[in-house]
């Protein structure tokens, strides 16, 4: 097969056909019949209805929870008709009121909030979109659905209209009301079905359930997404996530569950959140499983000191005071906000809590946080990231998670591992709650391997370490902590945060570490270049020897480039062989071109370098496109003094680079180490590799000697 045979190759491929159902989707439908739905259907039925996803999925779960296309289409039509006939749009409220009057009774879907009118000793409902209020509600309804008193719940209601000559009598009558949430489910069936999935399959099912395509996320990125669910499955869990705009920080808490309440950080008051001492009414923490504060960041935001104090007490002790009485609650607290600076900037000039209002930038408050999600690692949400696969109907998985809040999985690691004795009680509590939440999400059946338990434990420790390390910057009186664990053989495993590995100079300002120190596992064994002083008139800089051995790089790291990890080992080589069976897709070809361009820019302009690619040939409909891509690379490289040739070998599997200067580099993932970017031509990460996030990969450097 020759590269020169591609002159008449096709320029493009046919448009993508609708994707067929995957093996995982078929398995999901078989094991969870009736409680899963195709996630792209929500967009298909939503239209201009400003309604949470869990409301739409509740309806889709009633009519379209199937993998039969005819049933799905009929279900979509039914849900669209229900929304058209019963959902109340604000701009059509008068028309709906007229319909109720003319018919005498009409069913609507609206957000309902109830308050107690003390003067009349009566409960009265207000309908957000319909725009009516003062509608009488029976006390029995409030007993059955107390959340109606806490800011509003989406409901299906029957409204009647009876006019009265008495102007004080509200003509609207509540015939029936049903909050939109699942009433019961089979938990044992849920556990039995979980046993039929591998861990990877189960994680992908959960990722699809929150609406994302798991193929576009690495393992660490998936865990970060799922960490947002821990407050729903763990009582009194305190979580913070700060990061750039547009990463979906608040989506989970507004759209995912009928048991969560998202409020603006600027709208929080003691009566609304905890208790109104004037009437004794309990606030949001008494009724909701999760209370999330949106737009929590902002240095200039002012906070009520009384609120901060009562929040500190609640986050630490799960209780708050009402006069002389102390009350308890189970609501988890979530704080999400946007950052305006990069991570290294914050580490250099302040800390990773820099964006918080001054009242909350306090070590005593921050020490109550159990886990810090690194929002800067989360990719900006793009259309392609949404799932077209099957996931749990939201109200089903929300009820499953709610049912597990009373369970405690925090001791599941103790047969295998022991936490560092340095870890304080508060640190240990944070680690335990995160670990317990992850175990309930991923291994509700209680079956996990040693490696899976270690993965969850490391993730839990890292999130608490991120909190504690920043507190140490704020309060020097806090004792330093050695975060890690030992296994039963006594082997110590330290745990670090990813940003600690990426920016060691700025992360730990007490350590004498050079800016050029590599990341990943290399931090412990990095060689630091140091000038050797002789006579004042003669300074000789001794270049460090190139590292030999293996290095690991974590998913989501930045600051990695071919220039840093490959070029030092390829300098001076005149013949280089790249062995990689997978240089087929356009982005893989671009990666190869990036390396060739780097080699060309590093050599003398008068020199030439020979580069041979050993790879597997593409077959089928993409064969010509593959050959054309490689031919284009060959022609382009020749103009820069790179003699690029291709050798076909169908037996290769491992990826490596061999140079005639004596170095051999074993590449776990080949050149394909970067995560997919936004695709925008204005994305700076598309221009410079060090601004891109990587997938998890390893590199081994072997010095075989020149001529070997």
Residue 513 CA to residue 192 CA, distance in Å, equals 51
Average pLDDT, integer, range 111-120: 90
Q: What are the phi and psi torsion angles at 648 (to 5°)?
A: -95, 135
Compare 282 and 420 and report the one with higher pLDDT: 420
* pLDDT at residue 537 tops 50: no
Residue 501 CA to residue 524 CA, distance in Å, equals 10
Q: Are 633 and 600 in contact (CB under 8 A)?
A: no
What are the structural domains of the chain? 29-86 (no CATH), 90-179 (2.40.50), 185-403 (3.40.50.300), 417-504 (no CATH), 549-703 (3.30.870.30)
Contacts of 436 (CB under 8 A, 6+ apart): 234, 408, 409, 410, 412
Compare 574 and 12 and report the one with higher pLDDT: 574
Compare 247 and 678 and report the one with higher pLDDT: 247
- From start to end of 92-152, where are the E strands? 105-117, 122-127, 132-137
Q: What pLDDT shows up at residue 627? A: 93
Residue 299 CA to residue 297 CA, distance in Å, equals 7
SS3 content of the chain, % helix, strand, coil (to 5): 40, 20, 40
Q: What pLDDT shows up at residue 517? A: 41
* pLDDT at residue 239 tops 80: yes
Q: What pLDDT shows up at residue 514? A: 38
Compare 223 and 513 and report the one with higher pLDDT: 223
Average pLDDT, integer, range 454-472: 96
Q: What pLDDT shows up at residue 629? A: 93
Task: Determine the angle formed by the axes of helices 425-442 and 450-474, rounding to 10 degrees.
Answer: 140
Closest CA to 358 of 366, 348, 349, 347: 366
Contacts 24+ apart (CB under 8 A), 106-109: 106/158, 106/159, 107/156, 107/157, 107/158, 107/159, 108/156, 108/157, 108/159, 109/51, 109/55, 109/82, 109/83, 109/154, 109/155, 109/156, 109/157, 109/180
* pLDDT at residue 708 tops 60: no
Name the least confident of 314-323, 331-340, 534-543, 634-643: 534-543
Contacts of 272 (CB under 8 A, 6+ apart): 263, 283, 284
* pLDDT at residue 338 tops 70: yes
Average pLDDT, integer, range 332-355: 93
Q: What pLDDT shows up at residue 509? A: 60
Q: What pLDDT shows up at residue 184? A: 67
Q: What pLDDT shows up at residue 264? A: 81
Tokens of 388: 């077209």
Burial class from Cβ neighbours inside 10 Å (0-12, 13-18, 19+) for residue 609 reads buried
DSSP code string of 568-626:
HHHTT-SEEEEE-S---SHHHHHHHHHHHHHHHHHS-TT--EEEEEEEPPP-GGGHHHH
Determine how many CB atoms are found less than 10 A away from the CB of residue 195. Answer: 11
Residue spans of alpha helices (H) in 523-585: 562-565, 567-570
521, 558, 649, 675 from 696: Cα distances, Å: 12, 11, 27, 10
* pLDDT grade for 19, boundaries at 50, 70 and 90: low
- pLDDT, the chain, mean: 87
Question: Using one digit for the tens of pLDDT, what is the confidence trace for 121-180?
Answer: 999 999 999 999 999 999 999 988 888 887 778 899 999 999 888 878 889 999 889 888
Q: Are 544 and 622 in contact (CB under 8 A)?
A: no
Question: Using one digit for the tens of pLDDT, what is the confidence trace for 684-696?
Answer: 988 899 999 999 9
Question: Using one digit for the tens of pLDDT, what is the confidence trace for 471-512?
Answer: 999 988 888 899 999 999 999 999 999 999 999 989 876 433
Closest CA to 431 of 406, 468, 405, 401: 468
CA 7 remoteness from chain centre: 45
Q: What is the CA radius of gyration of the chain?
A: 30
Average pLDDT, integer, range 282-294: 91
Q: What pLDDT shows up at residue 656? A: 96
* pLDDT at residue 533 tops 80: no
Spell 310-349 as b/e; 16+ CB within 10 A means b: bbbbbbbeeebeeeeeeeebebbbbbbbbbeeebbebbee
Beta partners for residue 291, in sequence order: 261, 333
Q: What pLDDT shows up at residue 17? A: 35
Whole-prediction pTM value? Answer: 0.80
Count CA within 13 A, CB hemisphere, residue 172. 25
Q: What does the angle CA 686 – CA 667 – CA 3 come to, to the nearest 5 degrees? A: 70
Average pLDDT, integer, range 175-189: 82
Residue 256 CA to residue 57 CA, distance in Å, equals 10
* pLDDT at residue 379 tops 80: yes
Indicate the SS3 state at residue 643. Answer: strand
What dihedral angle (degrees, nearest 10) is formed by the CA atoms of 494, 498, 503, 504? 0
DSSP code string of 215-260:
GGS-HHHHHHHHHTTHHHHSTT-EEEEEE-TTS-TTHIIIII-TTE
Contacts of 242 (CB under 8 A, 6+ apart): 297, 336, 337, 338, 339, 352, 353, 355, 356, 372, 375
* pLDDT at residue 456 tops 50: yes
CA 394 remoteness from chain centre: 17
Tokens of 570: 């390829």
* pLDDT at residue 74 tops 70: yes
Residue 61 CA to residue 190 CA, distance in Å, equals 17
* pLDDT at residue 670 tops 80: yes
* pLDDT grade for 391, boundaries at 50, 70 and 90: very high
Burial class from Cβ neighbours inside 10 Å (0-12, 13-18, 19+) for residue 582 reads middle
Average pLDDT, integer, range 428-449: 97
Q: How far apart are the first and last CA of the chain?
A: 30
Diameter of the chain measured on Cα atoms? 107
Name the least confident of 174-188, 288-302, 398-412: 174-188
Q: What are the phi and psi torsion angles at 326 (to 5°)?
A: -105, 130
* pLDDT at residue 529 tops 50: no
Token pair 């944070």: residue: 430
Indicate the SS3 state at residue 176. Answer: strand
Q: What are the phi and psi torsion angles at 41 (to 5°)?
A: -70, -25
């Amino acid at each position: 097969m020759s590269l020169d045979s591609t002159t008449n190759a096709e320029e493009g491929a046919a448009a993508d056909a609708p994707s067929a159902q995957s093996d995982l989707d078929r398995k999901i439908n078989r094991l969870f019949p009736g409680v899963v739905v195709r996630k792209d259907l929500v967009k298909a039925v939503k239209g201009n209805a400003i309604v949470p996803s869990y409301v739409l999925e509740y309806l889709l779960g009633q009519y379209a929870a199937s993998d039969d296309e005819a049933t799905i289409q009929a279900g979509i039509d039914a849900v669209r008709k229900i929304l058209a006939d019963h959902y109340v749009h604000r701009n059509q409220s008068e028309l709906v009121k007229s319909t109720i009057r003319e018919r005498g009774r009409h069913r609507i879907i609206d957000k309902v909030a109830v308050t107690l009118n003390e003067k009349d000793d009566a409960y009265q409902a207000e309908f957000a979109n319909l725009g009516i209020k003062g509608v009488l509600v029976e006390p029995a309804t409030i007993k059955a659905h107390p959340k109606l008193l806490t800011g509003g719940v989406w409901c299906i209601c029957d409204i009647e209209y009876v006019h009265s000559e008495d102007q004080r009598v509200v003509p609207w009558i509540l015939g029936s009301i049903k909050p939109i949430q699942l009433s019961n489910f089979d938990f044992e069936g849920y556990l039995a079905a979980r046993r039929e999935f591998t861990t990877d399959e189960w994680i992908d099912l959960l990722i699809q359930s929150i609406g994302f395509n798991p193929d576009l996320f690495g393992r660490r990125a998936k865990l970060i997404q799922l960490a947002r669910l821990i407050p729903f499955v763990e009582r009194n869990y305190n979580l913070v996530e700060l990061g750039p705009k547009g990463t979906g920080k608040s989506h989970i808490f507004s759209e995912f569950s009928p048991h969560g309440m998202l409020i603006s950080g600027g709208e929080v008051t003691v009566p609304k959140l905890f208790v109104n001492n004037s009437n004794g009414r309990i606030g949001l923490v008494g009724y909701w499983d999760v209370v999330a504060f949106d737009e929590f960041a902002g240095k200039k935001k002012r906070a009520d000191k009384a609120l901060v104090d009562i929040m500190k007490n609640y986050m630490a002790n799960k209780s708050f005071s009402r006069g002389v009485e102390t009350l308890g609650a189970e609501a988890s607290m979530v704080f999400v906000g946007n950052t305006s600076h990069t991570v290294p900037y914050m580490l250099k000039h302040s800390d990773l809590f820099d964006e918080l209002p001054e009242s909350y930038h306090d070590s005593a408050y921050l020490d109550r946080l159990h886990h810090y999600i690194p929002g800067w690692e989360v990719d900006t949400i793009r259309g392609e990231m949404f799932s077209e696969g099957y996931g749990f109907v939201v109200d089903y998985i929300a009820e499953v998670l709610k049912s597990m809040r009373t369970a405690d999985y925090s001791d599941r690691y103790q047969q295998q591992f022991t936490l560092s004795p340095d870890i304080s009680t508060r640190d240990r509590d944070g680690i335990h709650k995160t670990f317990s939440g992850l175990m309930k999400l991923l291994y509700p059946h209680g079956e996990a391997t040693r490696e899976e338990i270690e993965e969850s434990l490391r993730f839990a420790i890292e999130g608490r370490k991120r909190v504690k390390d920043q507190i140490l910057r704020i309060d020097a009186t806090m004792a330093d902590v050695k975060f890690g664990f030992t296994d039963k053989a006594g082997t110590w495993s330290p745990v670090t945060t990813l940003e600690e590995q990426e920016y060691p100079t700025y992360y730990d300002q007490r350590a004498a570490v050079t800016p050029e120190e590599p990341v990943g596992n290399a931090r412990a064994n990095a060689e630091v270049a140091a000038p050797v002083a002789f006579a004042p008139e003669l300074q000789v800089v001794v270049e460090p020897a190139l590292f030999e051995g293996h290095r690991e790089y974590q998913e989501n790291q930045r600051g990695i480039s071919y220039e840093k990890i490959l070029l030092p080992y390829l300098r001076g080589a005149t013949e280089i062989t790249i062995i990689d069976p997978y240089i087929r897709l356009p982005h893989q070809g671009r990666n190869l071109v990036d390396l060739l361009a780097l080699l060309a820019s590093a050599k003398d302009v008068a020199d030439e370098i020979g580069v041979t690619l050993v790879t597997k040939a593409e077959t089928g409909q993409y064969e010509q496109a593959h050959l054309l891509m490689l031919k284009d690379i060959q022609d382009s490289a020749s103009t820069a003094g790179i003699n690029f040739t291709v050798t076909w070998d169908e037996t290769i599997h491992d990826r490596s680079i061999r140079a005639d200067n004596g170095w051999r580099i074993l590449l776990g993932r080949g050149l394909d180490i970067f995560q997919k970017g936004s695709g925008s031509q204005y994305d700076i990460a598309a221009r410079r590799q060090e601004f891109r996030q990587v997938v998890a990969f390893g590199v081994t450097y072997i010095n075989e000697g020149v001529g070997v």
